[in-house]
Amino acid sequence: MFVQLLRKSILRRKSRFAMGVASVLIGAAVVTALFTVSLGVGDQVGQEFAKYGANLMLQPQSNTIQIGLPGVSIGSVTEQKYMNESDLWMIKTIEHRANVLGFAPFLYQVVTVGDGPNAQQAILAGTYFNKTIQIPQPASPQDHSEFSTGIADISSWWKVTGNWITDQNDTTSAMVGSNVAQKLNLTVGDSFRVSYAGAQNGTAATNAKELKVAGVVESGGPEDNQIFVNLPVAQDLSSRPGKVDAVQVSALCVRCPVADMASEIQGKIPGVQGTTITQLTNAEMSTLDKYQSMMVLVTAVALLASTMGIFTTMTANVAERRREIGLMKSIGAENRTIAALFLAEATLTGLIGGIAGFGVGIVLAQFIGLSVFSTTIPLRWEVLAVAIPVAIGVSLLASALPVRRATAVEPAIVLRGE
């Protein structure tokens, strides 16, 4: 009888019931969408941040010269200590090695471009563009013994006209910063000559090299003022074989323990100092915090709207059925029986609204994923386990006061004709 009563009372008020379901649907859809995005987008957010560049800088311990990151101008390279290129594989053996998206070593030198009166000075940086390095002693047997890395991985936001240097053995190509290209009137395919004057075995010596422009780099940062070549080219030119000035490391993670990673690398590679780029890390944290605060706020507003919607619907439902409630009580219904009828309706409203809201939320999550993160968001069934109880909970909570009013209806109203 109870089921019949519930079914028929809902069918009789289909539109009102549908309004209640729609109210729940809105809240459940927002909860589903934001939770799905939040769960599914964690890695994407990390990758988005990784695009902004390295968040960890490795330098020789005594080296105080700051070089190479966006927004930081580079000074002239003076006599300094170096890191050994042969030690770099150890970066991929730290505990948080899975979080190391990539790294790129840099060896800087001031070179003269061109000859005669038109000669200009520029900074030449030797680096890895896309190099496969060997890991002779992987930290775990499951780890790969090779790792492909380079500036293409950690500076993917570079706008390149022409081509990236893809051959790690290419000793004749260079990627030229846009400012350098403009000053020297270089375009893709042009050849130019660089020379490096330094001390060699106690005597002055000049090494020169003919290079060809493979691509022009536009980053909006100091890279626009630099010339990039494969690391061995720079090492040869300045006669510093196997040496690097600095290594930029990009850690792929959200709220990753960058400081811990720096300490770990310091422990692995002697004489290396790791500096976290706190500005970027903090920005990452702050953005994520804001994203999560926004998510909580939007969810709260949506749930509040749902609660108000169900409250209004249920209040109208109780008011409309006042005489029916009075009749039921007059023929023997107890308060708990009346409450059970309305709470069952609220539960059903929550359940149907929750399931429908989950479906709509998944679509909404894809829309957010594609429009904000340019990626699809994987379906997370665990969100259903949150959305349905939340939907039912909101529906029951919003119905509490109307149900209380229903139980307060006096049976005497049926005789008074109210």
Residue ranges that bind other proteins, judged by CB under 8 A: 1-2, 4-5, 8-9, 11-12, 323-324, 327-335, 337, 410-412, 414-417
Least separation in angstroms between residue 319's CB and other proteins is 16
Least separation in angstroms between residue 418's CB and other proteins is 11
Least separation in angstroms between residue 8's CB and other proteins is 4
**Nearer to other proteins (CB atom), residue 43 or residue 334:** 334
**Nearer to other proteins (CB atom), residue 204 or residue 331:** 331
**Nearer to other proteins (CB atom), residue 2 or residue 367:** 2
Least separation in angstroms between residue 4's CB and other proteins is 7
Q: Alpha-carbon distance 34 to 299, whole Å?
A: 8
* Residues 244 and 63: beta-carbon distance below 8 Å: no
Least separation in angstroms between residue 356's CB and other proteins is 24
Q: Alpha-carbon distance 171 to 412, whole Å?
A: 99
Q: Alpha-carbon distance 410 to 143, whole Å?
A: 74
CA-nearest of 272, 353, 278 to 309 is 353
Least separation in angstroms between residue 317's CB and other proteins is 13
**Nearer to other proteins (CB atom), residue 81 or residue 323:** 323
**Nearer to other proteins (CB atom), residue 12 or residue 290:** 12
CA-nearest of 214, 226, 142, 140 to 178 is 226
List 56's β-bridge partners, or say none: 249, 276
Spatial CB neighbours of 295, under 8 Å, sequence gap ≥ 6: 34, 37, 38
**Nearer to other proteins (CB atom), residue 9 or residue 266:** 9
CA-nearest of 357, 375, 393 to 43 is 375
* Residues 101 and 50: beta-carbon distance below 8 Å: yes
